[in-house]
């Protein structure tokens, strides 16, 4: 590693990489349903809820998850479709070594900034991530933390109170902890080669390596699920919110694409032979574009152009399922459950009926909902307007989502 690499400029719009540590066995939380990161809270695995937040954040780039060598199937089952959106590495014997291995997986091309987060902190939020990212400098890390509120006692060898410890200036550390990439990797590598394996978090390694770390306000909600009681309380919190105070929302989406010369169209994820194709920057899947807008509408997250501007060349020709899956992650990151998706395709041709089952199957996988919660219909425009003249295809989509609500005033 060169000095130039270590001190590269940290542009404000750089994507920030993430290492999520999920290789622990979690013995203190019990093993009935596997390690604690795979236990279910509010009907979903802890690690799936953690991934939702980072995958939905617009500043986050590549994500590496360090898992135990025995947990590949557990992770894929827990993460579902999101398993293909991250890189997994086999973690080490300690948290410290798992982080080091995750960092090594990001070396080429290396990010300028990195966040390290515990998989068992599923209540991290976007605002906390933003605060941490903003405090990372070229040679400075960032640590979210809360001032210690409890009175602290040091125990004597006899099991009695030895002394009362002043809590002035003491903070309880949280994750994600943020660092410039090359300096923190170098610190981890140096500690590894020297056989120093007793660091309990990355800020401690940074301190040892003389990397200054700025404290930013943590969040009282950003708890670490350590004990079986923590898992139970998190489950009650999520399940109770969902059961007793539902917040049902409906979003609508509309899209239209013109025909151009071609030999097929893509509708709701299915390629259908046709004597024309739809014009668009991506694969021009008008049904999925409308559905993306409908999902985004349920949580006030703008529209498809906000997240995937057509002026950005990286979206040229891509499959539109990327847009739908992104919108679904945003919904889930806000605690939403997709209850229903309804799409109406308006066209004179091609015929949609023979492909409805395949479309339903694809959407079921995209949204992680059962097939009976998906409706795909088609109608003509009775030869009227641009659709009637077979100049293009339009689509209308409606999505119903249930969010955790607040207690009515």
Neighbours of 62 (CB within 10 A): 17
Is 256 labelled as part of a ligand binding site?
yes
The answer to whether 34 and 22 have CB atoms below 8 angstroms apart is no
Among residues 306, 278, 303, the alpha carbon closest in space to that of 292 is found at 303
Is 304 labelled as part of a ligand binding site?
yes
Q: How many CA atoms within 13 Å lie on the side-chain side of 387?
A: 18
Is 272 labelled as part of a ligand binding site?
no
Tell me what pLDDT residue 237 has. Answer: 82
Is 409 labelled as part of a ligand binding site?
no
Is 139 labelled as part of a ligand binding site?
no
Q: pLDDT digit of tens for each residue in the chain (409 aa)? A: 222 333 233 443 479 999 999 998 765 444 555 789 999 998 899 999 999 999 999 999 999 999 999 999 999 999 988 999 999 999 999 999 999 999 999 998 899 999 999 999 999 999 999 999 999 999 999 999 999 989 999 999 999 999 999 999 999 999 999 999 999 999 999 999 999 999 999 999 999 999 999 999 999 999 999 988 999 888 888 876 544 456 889 999 999 999 999 999 999 999 999 999 999 889 999 999 999 999 999 999 999 988 998 888 888 889 999 999 999 999 988 888 999 999 999 999 999 999 999 999 999 989 988 899 999 999 999 999 999 999 999 999 999 999 876 443 3
Long-range contact set of residues 257-260: C-beta below 8 Å, sequence gap at least 24:
257/284, 257/286, 257/289, 257/392, 257/393, 258/386, 258/391, 258/392, 259/390, 259/391, 259/392, 259/393
Is 303 labelled as part of a ligand binding site?
yes
Q: With b meaning 16 or more CB within 10 Å and e meaning fewer, what string describes 135-157?
A: bbbeebbbbbbeeeeeeeeeeee
Is 322 labelled as part of a ligand binding site?
no
Is 163 labelled as part of a ligand binding site?
no
Among residues 55, 51, 47, the alpha carbon closest in space to that of 26 is found at 47
Among residues 312, 265, 305, 304, the alpha carbon closest in space to that of 285 is found at 265
CA distance 144 to 176: 7
Q: What is the DSSP letter of 94?
A: S
Tell me what pLDDT residue 27 has. Answer: 52
Could you tell me the two tokens for 118? 């515990």
56: exposed, middle or buried (Cβ count in 10 Å: 0-12, 13-18, 19+): buried
Is 289 labelled as part of a ligand binding site?
yes
CA distance 119 to 224: 9
Is 25 labelled as part of a ligand binding site?
no
The answer to whether 363 and 305 have CB atoms below 8 angstroms apart is no
CA distance 117 to 21: 6
Is 257 labelled as part of a ligand binding site?
yes
Could you tell me the two tokens for 97? 């070594």
388: exposed, middle or buried (Cβ count in 10 Å: 0-12, 13-18, 19+): middle
Is 389 labelled as part of a ligand binding site?
yes
The answer to whether 99 and 197 have CB atoms below 8 angstroms apart is no
Is 379 labelled as part of a ligand binding site?
yes
Could you tell me the two tokens for 183? 């300096």
Tell me what pLDDT residue 33 has. Answer: 59
Sign of CA dihedral 93, 99, 100, 101: positive
DSSP labels, 304-369:
HHHHS-TT-GGGTT--THHHHHHHHHHHHHTT-EEEEEEEEEE-SSS--GGGHHHHHHHHHHHHT-
């Amino acid at each position: 590693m060169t000095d130039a690499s270590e001190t590269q400029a940290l542009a404000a719009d750089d994507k920030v990489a993430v290492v999520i540590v999920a290789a622990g066995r979690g013995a203190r939380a019990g093993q009935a349903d596997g390690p604690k990161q795979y236990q279910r809270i509010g009907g979903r695995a802890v690690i799936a809820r953690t991934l939702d937040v980072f995958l939905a954040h617009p500043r986050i780039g590549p994500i590496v998850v360090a898992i135990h060598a025995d947990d590949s199937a557990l992770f894929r089952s827990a993460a579902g479709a999101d398993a293909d959106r991250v890189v997994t590495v086999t973690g080490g014997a300690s948290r410290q070594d798992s982080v080091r291995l995750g960092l090594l997986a990001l070396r080429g091309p290396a990010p300028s900034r990195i966040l390290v987060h515990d998989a068992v902190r599923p209540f991290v939020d976007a605002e906390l991530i933003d605060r941490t990212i903003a405090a990372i400098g070229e040679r400075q890390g960032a640590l979210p933390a809360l001032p210690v509120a409890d009175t602290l006692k040091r125990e004597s060898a006899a099991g009695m109170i030895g002394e009362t410890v002043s809590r002035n200036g003491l903070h309880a550390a949280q994750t994600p902890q943020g660092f410039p990439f090359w300096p923190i990797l170098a610190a981890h590598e140096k500690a590894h080669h020297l056989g120093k394996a007793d660091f309990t978090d990355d800020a401690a390694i940074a301190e040892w390596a003389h990397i200054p770390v700025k404290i930013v306000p943590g969040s009282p909600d950003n708890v670490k699920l350590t004990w079986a009681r923590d898992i139970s309380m998190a489950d009650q919190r999520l399940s109770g919110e969902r059961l007793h105070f539902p917040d049902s929302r409906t979003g609508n989406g509309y899209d239209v694409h013109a025909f151009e010369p071609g030999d097929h169209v893509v509708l709701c994820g299915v390629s259908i032979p046709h004597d024309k194709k739809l014009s668009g920057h991506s694969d021009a899947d008008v049904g999925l574009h409308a559905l993306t807008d409908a999902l985004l509408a349920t949580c006030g997250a703008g529209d498809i152009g906000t997240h995937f501007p057509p002026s950005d060349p990286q979206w040229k020709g891509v499959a539109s399922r990327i847009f739908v899956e992104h919108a679904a992650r945003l919904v889930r990151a806000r605690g939403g459950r997709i209850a229903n998706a309804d799409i109406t395709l308006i066209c004179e041709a091609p015929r949609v009926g023979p492909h409805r089952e395949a479309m339903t199957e694809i959407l079921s996988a995209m949204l992680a909902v059962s097939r009976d919660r998906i409706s795909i219909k088609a109608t003509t425009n009775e030869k009227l307007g641009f659709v009637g003249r077979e100049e293009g295809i339009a689509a209308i989509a409606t999505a119903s989502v249930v969010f955790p609500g607040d207690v009515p005033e």
